[in-house]
A and B are shown apart, each in its own frame.
Chain A
Amino acid sequence: GNSVTQMEGPVTLSEEAFLTINCTYTATGYPSLFWYVQYPGEGLQLLLKATKADDKGSNKGFEATYRKETTSFHLEKGSVQVSDSAVYFCALSDRAGGYNKLIFGAGTRLAVHP
Protein backbone atom coordinates (compact mmCIF):
# COMPACT_ATOMS: atom_id res chain seq x y z
CA GLY A 1 0.00 0.00 0.00
CA ASN A 2 0.87 3.65 -0.09
CA SER A 3 3.20 4.97 2.57
CA VAL A 4 5.27 7.96 3.65
CA THR A 5 8.69 7.86 5.31
CA GLN A 6 10.21 10.87 7.05
CA MET A 7 13.60 11.36 8.57
CA GLU A 8 13.65 10.71 12.27
CA GLY A 9 13.98 13.60 14.62
CA PRO A 10 14.55 15.55 16.57
CA VAL A 11 16.31 17.94 14.27
CA THR A 12 18.12 20.57 16.31
CA LEU A 13 19.34 23.74 14.62
CA SER A 14 20.57 27.17 15.53
CA GLU A 15 18.60 30.19 14.42
CA GLU A 16 19.27 31.19 10.79
CA ALA A 17 20.51 27.71 9.86
CA PHE A 18 19.37 25.90 6.72
CA LEU A 19 16.69 23.28 7.19
CA THR A 20 16.04 20.09 5.27
CA ILE A 21 13.53 17.47 6.39
CA ASN A 22 13.52 14.46 4.11
CA CYS A 23 10.31 12.82 2.97
CA THR A 24 9.95 9.92 0.55
CA TYR A 25 6.81 8.14 -0.48
CA THR A 26 5.53 4.96 -2.03
CA ALA A 27 2.38 5.27 -4.06
CA THR A 28 0.52 3.96 -7.05
CA GLY A 29 -0.75 6.62 -9.36
CA TYR A 30 -0.08 10.30 -8.84
CA PRO A 31 -0.93 11.46 -5.33
CA SER A 32 -0.94 15.01 -4.12
CA LEU A 33 1.71 15.71 -1.49
CA PHE A 34 1.45 17.88 1.60
CA TRP A 35 3.45 19.26 4.48
CA TYR A 36 1.59 20.02 7.68
CA VAL A 37 2.99 21.65 10.83
CA GLN A 38 1.86 20.99 14.39
CA TYR A 39 2.73 23.34 17.24
CA PRO A 40 2.59 21.97 20.81
CA GLY A 41 -0.92 21.10 21.91
CA GLU A 42 -2.50 22.22 18.66
CA GLY A 43 -4.00 20.72 15.54
CA LEU A 44 -2.28 20.48 12.18
CA GLN A 45 -1.86 23.48 9.93
CA LEU A 46 -1.36 23.10 6.21
CA LEU A 47 2.08 24.44 5.34
CA LEU A 48 2.27 23.74 1.62
CA LYS A 49 1.22 21.29 -1.04
CA ALA A 50 2.00 20.10 -4.55
CA THR A 51 -0.40 18.28 -6.83
CA LYS A 52 1.77 17.02 -9.69
CA ALA A 53 5.34 16.16 -10.59
CA ASP A 54 7.83 19.07 -10.58
CA ASP A 55 5.37 21.34 -8.77
CA LYS A 56 6.97 23.43 -6.04
CA GLY A 57 4.88 24.31 -3.01
CA SER A 58 5.96 27.26 -0.91
CA ASN A 59 4.75 29.20 2.11
CA LYS A 60 6.33 31.30 4.88
CA GLY A 61 9.83 30.68 3.51
CA PHE A 62 9.36 26.91 3.37
CA GLU A 63 9.38 25.08 0.08
CA ALA A 64 9.21 21.54 -1.25
CA THR A 65 9.36 20.13 -4.78
CA TYR A 66 7.39 17.09 -5.95
CA ARG A 67 10.07 14.78 -7.39
CA LYS A 68 8.49 11.80 -9.11
CA GLU A 69 11.81 10.29 -10.23
CA THR A 70 13.06 10.04 -6.65
CA THR A 71 9.58 9.78 -5.04
CA SER A 72 10.53 12.58 -2.68
CA PHE A 73 9.06 15.78 -1.27
CA HIS A 74 11.78 17.21 0.97
CA LEU A 75 10.97 20.29 3.03
CA GLU A 76 13.51 23.13 3.02
CA LYS A 77 13.91 26.57 4.54
CA GLY A 78 16.86 28.83 4.05
CA SER A 79 16.93 30.43 7.50
CA VAL A 80 14.97 29.00 10.40
CA GLN A 81 13.65 30.94 13.35
CA VAL A 82 12.91 29.89 16.92
CA SER A 83 9.22 30.21 16.07
CA ASP A 84 9.60 27.39 13.51
CA SER A 85 10.05 24.88 16.33
CA ALA A 86 7.27 22.34 15.83
CA VAL A 87 6.55 18.87 14.47
CA TYR A 88 6.38 18.61 10.69
CA PHE A 89 4.32 15.93 8.93
CA CYS A 90 4.63 14.85 5.34
CA ALA A 91 1.47 13.33 3.84
CA LEU A 92 0.11 12.03 0.59
CA SER A 93 -3.45 11.73 -0.65
CA ASP A 94 -4.60 8.20 -1.29
CA ARG A 95 -7.71 8.03 -3.46
CA ALA A 96 -7.73 4.26 -3.95
CA GLY A 97 -10.92 3.80 -1.94
CA GLY A 98 -12.88 6.40 -3.88
CA TYR A 99 -12.30 9.02 -1.22
CA ASN A 100 -9.36 11.17 -0.26
CA LYS A 101 -7.53 9.64 2.68
CA LEU A 102 -4.34 11.29 3.87
CA ILE A 103 -1.47 8.97 4.71
CA PHE A 104 0.99 10.56 7.11
CA GLY A 105 4.58 10.05 7.97
CA ALA A 106 5.50 9.72 11.64
CA GLY A 107 6.45 13.38 11.92
CA THR A 108 9.79 15.12 12.47
CA ARG A 109 10.31 17.33 15.47
CA LEU A 110 12.31 20.50 14.81
CA ALA A 111 13.91 22.44 17.65
CA VAL A 112 15.51 25.79 16.82
CA HIS A 113 17.74 27.45 19.40
CA PRO A 114 18.66 31.15 19.59
Chain B
Amino acid sequence: DGGITQSPKYLFRKEGQNVTLSCEQNLNHDAMYWYRQDPGQGLRLIYYSQIVNDFQKGDIAEGYSVSREKKESFPLTVTSAQKNPTAFYLCASSIGVGTQETQYFGPGTRLLVL
Protein backbone atom coordinates (compact mmCIF):
# COMPACT_ATOMS: atom_id res chain seq x y z
CA ASP B 1 0.00 0.00 0.00
CA GLY B 2 1.23 3.49 -0.81
CA GLY B 3 1.12 6.05 1.91
CA ILE B 4 2.80 8.18 4.51
CA THR B 5 3.96 6.63 7.76
CA GLN B 6 4.96 8.46 10.90
CA SER B 7 6.59 6.98 13.95
CA PRO B 8 6.30 6.72 16.80
CA LYS B 9 2.63 7.39 17.44
CA TYR B 10 3.46 8.78 20.89
CA LEU B 11 6.77 10.25 21.99
CA PHE B 12 7.87 11.48 25.37
CA ARG B 13 10.60 14.06 25.80
CA LYS B 14 12.53 14.92 28.90
CA GLU B 15 13.77 18.41 29.63
CA GLY B 16 16.88 19.27 27.60
CA GLN B 17 16.50 16.29 25.31
CA ASN B 18 16.40 16.28 21.52
CA VAL B 19 13.92 13.89 19.93
CA THR B 20 13.44 12.88 16.31
CA LEU B 21 10.12 12.18 14.61
CA SER B 22 10.14 9.94 11.58
CA CYS B 23 8.22 10.51 8.35
CA GLU B 24 8.42 8.14 5.39
CA GLN B 25 6.46 8.13 2.15
CA ASN B 26 6.39 5.64 -0.72
CA LEU B 27 4.22 7.77 -2.97
CA ASN B 28 7.17 9.10 -4.99
CA HIS B 29 6.19 12.65 -4.01
CA ASP B 30 8.84 15.32 -4.38
CA ALA B 31 7.68 17.78 -1.72
CA MET B 32 7.31 17.05 1.97
CA TYR B 33 6.12 19.19 4.88
CA TRP B 34 5.99 19.26 8.67
CA TYR B 35 3.09 20.88 10.50
CA ARG B 36 2.34 21.39 14.15
CA GLN B 37 -1.20 21.19 15.55
CA ASP B 38 -2.13 22.58 18.96
CA PRO B 39 -5.47 21.81 20.64
CA GLY B 40 -8.40 23.62 19.07
CA GLN B 41 -6.24 25.19 16.39
CA GLY B 42 -5.41 24.69 12.79
CA LEU B 43 -2.04 23.50 11.56
CA ARG B 44 1.06 25.66 11.30
CA LEU B 45 3.98 24.99 8.97
CA ILE B 46 7.35 24.18 10.56
CA TYR B 47 9.56 23.17 7.61
CA TYR B 48 9.15 22.07 4.04
CA SER B 49 11.29 20.45 1.38
CA GLN B 50 10.62 20.56 -2.33
CA ILE B 51 13.51 18.30 -3.39
CA VAL B 52 16.18 16.09 -1.88
CA ASN B 53 18.96 17.94 -0.04
CA ASP B 54 16.95 21.15 0.11
CA PHE B 55 14.58 22.43 2.78
CA GLN B 56 13.24 25.76 3.94
CA LYS B 57 11.86 27.21 7.16
CA GLY B 58 8.15 27.63 7.56
CA ASP B 59 6.33 29.94 9.94
CA ILE B 60 7.43 28.38 13.23
CA ALA B 61 10.85 26.79 12.58
CA GLU B 62 12.57 27.96 15.78
CA GLY B 63 13.61 25.02 17.95
CA TYR B 64 13.24 22.49 15.13
CA SER B 65 15.57 21.01 12.52
CA VAL B 66 15.11 18.70 9.53
CA SER B 67 17.06 16.79 6.92
CA ARG B 68 16.16 15.47 3.48
CA GLU B 69 18.81 12.98 2.43
CA LYS B 70 16.37 10.69 0.64
CA LYS B 71 13.26 11.41 -1.35
CA GLU B 72 11.22 9.07 0.85
CA SER B 73 12.27 10.44 4.22
CA PHE B 74 11.92 13.79 6.01
CA PRO B 75 12.70 13.43 9.73
CA LEU B 76 12.00 16.26 12.16
CA THR B 77 14.13 16.88 15.26
CA VAL B 78 12.61 18.77 18.14
CA THR B 79 15.55 20.32 19.95
CA SER B 80 15.88 21.45 23.54
CA ALA B 81 15.55 25.01 22.25
CA GLN B 82 11.86 24.39 21.57
CA LYS B 83 10.36 25.49 24.86
CA ASN B 84 6.80 24.36 24.24
CA PRO B 85 7.04 21.16 22.22
CA THR B 86 3.86 19.45 23.40
CA ALA B 87 1.71 19.16 20.28
CA PHE B 88 0.51 16.84 17.53
CA TYR B 89 2.98 16.74 14.64
CA LEU B 90 1.81 15.98 11.14
CA CYS B 91 3.92 15.19 8.12
CA ALA B 92 2.60 15.68 4.60
CA SER B 93 3.76 15.11 1.06
CA SER B 94 2.40 16.52 -2.13
CA ILE B 95 1.85 15.76 -5.76
CA GLY B 96 1.13 18.10 -8.63
CA VAL B 97 2.27 21.60 -9.38
CA GLY B 98 0.70 25.03 -9.09
CA THR B 99 -3.04 24.96 -8.64
CA GLN B 100 -3.09 21.18 -8.98
CA GLU B 101 -0.81 20.53 -6.03
CA THR B 102 -2.47 18.56 -3.24
CA GLN B 103 -0.99 17.64 0.11
CA TYR B 104 -1.63 14.30 1.79
CA PHE B 105 -1.04 13.72 5.47
CA GLY B 106 0.37 10.99 7.65
CA PRO B 107 -1.29 9.74 10.84
CA GLY B 108 0.71 12.05 13.13
CA THR B 109 2.95 11.81 16.18
CA ARG B 110 1.85 13.14 19.56
CA LEU B 111 4.77 14.59 21.52
CA LEU B 112 4.49 14.98 25.25
CA VAL B 113 6.96 16.48 27.70
CA LEU B 114 7.74 14.59 30.90
Interface set of A (CB-CB < 8 Å, partner B): 4, 30, 32, 34, 36, 42-46, 49, 51-52, 89, 91, 93, 95, 99-107
- The CA of A18 and the CA of B35, in the complex, are separated in Å by 32
Shortest Cβ distance from A44 into B: residue: B105
Closest 10 A/B residue pairs (Cβ) = A104-B42, A43-B105, A44-B105, A51-B99, A43-B107, A43-B108, A100-B101, A104-B43, A106-B42, A32-B99
Add 13 more A-B contacts to A36-B105, A46-B105, A106-B42 (CB < 8 A): A4-B42, A42-B108, A43-B4, A43-B107, A44-B90, A44-B105, A46-B103, A100-B31, A100-B94, A100-B103, A102-B33, A102-B92, A106-B41
CB-CB under 8 A from A106, the residues of chain B are: 40-42
- Interface size class on chain B is 20 to 34
